[in-house]
């Protein structure tokens, strides 16, 4: 208890000293700077499409995500390796991999479709169909 109070007091003291040291610089620079008028005419939104995917980039991204997963042995990893039989993953690991693929490609994979994905090649085919990937 005493240790945490002492630690908190030291933190507050150092923070106050740092802020008081910076305060004149911040006040001087902001008081001289003009304040922009946030009108609608100055707000511009830029749109762009996602970069086009090729078969090679999809395959590389899938293998990268799987290779970064700590429970996957990189020596056994291939496009046709079964998640359960070859890589020794359980159902929770499979769910985590599917979630990682969703994060990587930016769309949600329904549970019914995710249950059918037993190999990286299944994920590859699903992503290519979903994202209209061409050569």
Catalytic residues: 90
Asked if 42 and 36 touch (Cβ cutoff 8 Å), the reply is yes
Asked if 27 and 71 touch (Cβ cutoff 8 Å), the reply is no
A 10 A CB-CB count for 14 gives 10
What span, in angstroms and rounded, lies between the C-alpha atoms of 121 and 59? Answer: 8
What is the C-alpha radius of gyration for the chain, rounded to an integer number of angstroms? 26
∠ CA(130), CA(132), CA(135), 5° rounding?
A: 130
């Amino acid at each position: 208890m005493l240790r945490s109070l002492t630690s908190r007091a030291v933190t507050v003291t150092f923070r106050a000293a740092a802020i008081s040291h910076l305060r004149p610089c911040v006040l001087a620079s902001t008081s001289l700077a003009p304040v922009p008028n946030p009108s609608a005419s100055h707000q511009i939104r830029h749109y762009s499409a996602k970069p086009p995917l090729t078969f090679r980039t999809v395959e590389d991204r899938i293998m990268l995500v799987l290779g970064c997963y700590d429970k996957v042995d990189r020596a056994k990893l291939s496009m046709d390796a079964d998640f359960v039989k070859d890589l020794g993953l359980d159902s929770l690991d499979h769910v985590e991999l599917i979630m990682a693929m969703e994060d990587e490609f930016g769309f949600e994979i329904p549970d019914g479709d995710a249950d059918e994905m037993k190999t990286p090649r299944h994920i590859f085919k699903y992503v290519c169909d979903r994202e209209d990937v061409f050569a």
